């Protein structure tokens, strides 16, 4: 149960980070709207993944991972055209792939680790975005 609480806390961190970051001053209104749509979907799928990990529902973990992967390949995903942003996106995709692979192997610890790694990739990227905005 302790692990589930830790994952829940990380899920909350992702939620708060998403809410705080997307007031970006360097995107126009149309781009902000697109980013908000993508980030809301990412949050929805990440929450579904957390729920599935907590319930040890491997089919749902795989489904959430597939949705997250597909979303990360959409054009609106790329908020910033920068090498570092691509690195964070690739980190995210690798973590989601690890979560998916673990789910297929019915490895709940591996799926939970993939979820945590995915969450950390989000937190690190959002932190970087905030820093980029400060320097403008």
pLDDT, tens digit, for every residue of 97-130? Answer: 999 999 999 999 999 999 999 999 999 999 998 8
pLDDT in tens, 15-70: 545 444 444 445 567 777 888 899 999 999 999 999 999 999 999 999 999 999 99
Distances (CA, A) of 8 to 33, 109, 119, 122, 131: 27, 15, 11, 15, 26
Q: Is the alpha carbon torsion for 118, 122, 123, 125 positive or negative?
A: positive
C-alpha distances in Å from residue 123, one per residue of 17, 56, 64, 99:
7, 24, 19, 17
For domain 2-134, the CATH architecture is Up-down Bundle (1.20)
- Contacts for 33 with CB less than 8 Å, ≥ 6 apart: none
3-state secondary structure of 39: helix
């Amino acid at each position: 149960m302790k692990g589930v609480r830790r994952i829940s806390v990380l899920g909350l961190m992702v939620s708060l980070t998403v809410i705080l970051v997307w007031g970006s001053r360097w995107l126009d209104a149309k781009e902000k709207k697109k980013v908000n749509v993508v980030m809301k979907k990412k949050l929805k799928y990440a929450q579904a993944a957390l729920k599935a990990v907590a319930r040890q529902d491997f089919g749902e973990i795989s489904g959430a991972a597939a949705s997250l992967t597909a979303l990360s390949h959409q054009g609106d995903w790329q908020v910033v055209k920068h090498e570092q942003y691509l690195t964070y996106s690739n980190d995210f995709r690798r973590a989601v792939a690890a979560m998916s692979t673990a789910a297929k192997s019915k490895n709940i610890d591996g799926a939970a680790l993939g979820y945590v790694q995915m969450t950390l990739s989000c937190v690190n990227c959002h932190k970087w975005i905030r820093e980029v905005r400060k320097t403008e």
